[in-house]
Amino acid sequence: MSILDPPIGFVSLRDALDIVARKIGDADRAMMMIAELCAAGEIAATYRSWTGGADDLPRDKWLSPYWRSYFDAGTIELDLPLVDDRGQAHPQGITARCIREIFIKRQDLDRTTLPLVSIKARVPGDAELVQQGLDAIAEGRATNPFQAAKLICGRIAKAQQIDRIRKLIAKHRQTSPRTP
């Protein structure tokens, strides 16, 4: 486990696996899904840089025969340039074998896993509106369930419909990796 919090806007690979596995009920399928989405560039994967930030993890790392091992501890072993205290690379290009924690971009994870949410609604058409509201939040067009409901329902909607959709968005957002 990490001693430091993930960089802002990211979740650890282990947390991402837990989120997706809860949604689909199968850790092995969740692992495969995350790896495929990272390899395809649909989800950005990074590792902690020596400065504490995040550097992009090359997509081809997910094509390695060892990709499943990344999920064991949430880390990857990389050959990285040896740098001095000032961040300057060694003049002869010497590298060092380093273990780095893997992080997944939260916004990408939200966008790609929101369709996995099973929306239950009593009023016909509400499930589609809730999904559109969840998408609006994941894409940054709305920041909370009320904004999303107003955006999706439009100006002519009655206050009761907006409130019903807002409540459903808030309820289903709890299963999303995004925190309130």
Give the pTM: 0.62
Q: Domain ranges for the chain, please list them.
A: 10-106, 117-173
Q: How far, in Å, CA of 147 to CA of 153, rounded?
A: 10
Q: Provide the residue type at 135 as one letter.
A: D
Residue range 14-67, pLDDT digits in tens: 999 998 888 777 889 889 999 999 999 999 999 988 776 789 999 999 999 999
Which residue is listed with tokens 């040896």? Answer: 82
Indicate whether 108 pLDDT > 70.
yes
pLDDT of residue 179: 35
Q: How far separated are the first and last CA of the chain, in Å rounded?
A: 24
User: What is the rounded CA–CA span in Å between residue 68 and residue 74?
Assistant: 10
Per-residue pLDDT at 97 exceeds 70: yes
pLDDT digits (tens, 9 = 90+) for 121-170: 678 778 778 888 887 887 788 989 999 999 988 877 788 888 999 988 88
